């Protein structure tokens, strides 16, 4: 297992993967590996550095052991809550997922009466683009996961905040956003898109 500390070239305290890091804090696990890799954020200092367990002080070793034990107790992030009604265990010990049939509702289309019909505006509405609303620097400070290195890609590939809030993981990866920021970036873009309406 690899152990990581805050890069001593970075001044002050930082937060990595939700963990507050000071000069003495030691963490471990694969979630932190990319933050110690210089290729993750090209042109920027890695936020963490790898340390040898034998070179840690006694208090840091204890802290690292406690952190490793706590990490081992957490369920993987991709697993949700398993409900007992959703699977069956056979005699051979195999687990079979049970798909419950979803009843279909018949929806009658509503035809608007003449009084309800809206007159559409013949002038096309101008869509506010991300470029129109924010400068690159303001957008970097506002959005989680957007950095100076990937802000141009985000501007080029997501026209509006609504587009950004609905972007798939593959699209976000092409924009240069780190996987740990996908959810927070979509949520922030959705909130801002609602305010713009």
Range among 85-99, 101-115, 130-144 rated most confident: 130-144
Closest CA to 172 of 183, 162, 130: 183
Q: pLDDT digit string (tens) for 26-58?
A: 888 888 888 888 888 788 888 888 888 787 788
- Both structure tokens of 26: 């030691």
- Both structure tokens of 102: 């979803």
**Domain definitions of the chain by residue range:** 3-73, 130-196
Its pTM surpasses 0.95: no
Backbone torsion region of residue 57, taken as left when φ is above 0, otherwise alpha when ψ lies between -120 and 50, otherwise beta: beta
Query: How far apart are the C-alpha atoms of 86 and 88, rounded to whole Å?
Result: 7
């Amino acid at each position: 297992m690899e152990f990581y500390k805050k890069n001593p070239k970075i001044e002050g305290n930082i937060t990595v993967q939700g963990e507050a890091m000071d000069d003495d804090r030691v963490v471990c696990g694969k979630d932190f590996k990319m933050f110690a890799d210089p290729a993750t954020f090209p042109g920027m200092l890695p936020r963490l550095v790898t340390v040898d367990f034998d070179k840690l002080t006694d208090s840091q070793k204890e802290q690292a052991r406690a952190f490793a034990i706590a990490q081992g107790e957490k369920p993987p992030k991709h697993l949700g809550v398993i409900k007992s009604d959703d699977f069956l265990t056979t005699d051979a010990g195999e687990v079979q997922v049970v798909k419950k049939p979803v009843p279909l509702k018949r929806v009658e289309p509503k035809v608007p009466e003449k009084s309800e019909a809206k007159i559409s505006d013949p002038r096309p509405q101008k869509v506010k683009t991300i470029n129109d609303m924010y400068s690159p620097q303001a957008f970097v400070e506002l959005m989680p996961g957007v950095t100076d290195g990937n802000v141009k890609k985000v501007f080029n590939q997501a026209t509006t905040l609504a587009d950004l809030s609905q972007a798939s993981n593959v699209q976000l990866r092409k924009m240069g956003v780190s996987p740990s920021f996908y959810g927070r970036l979509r949520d922030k873009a959705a909130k801002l898109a609602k305010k713009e309406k």
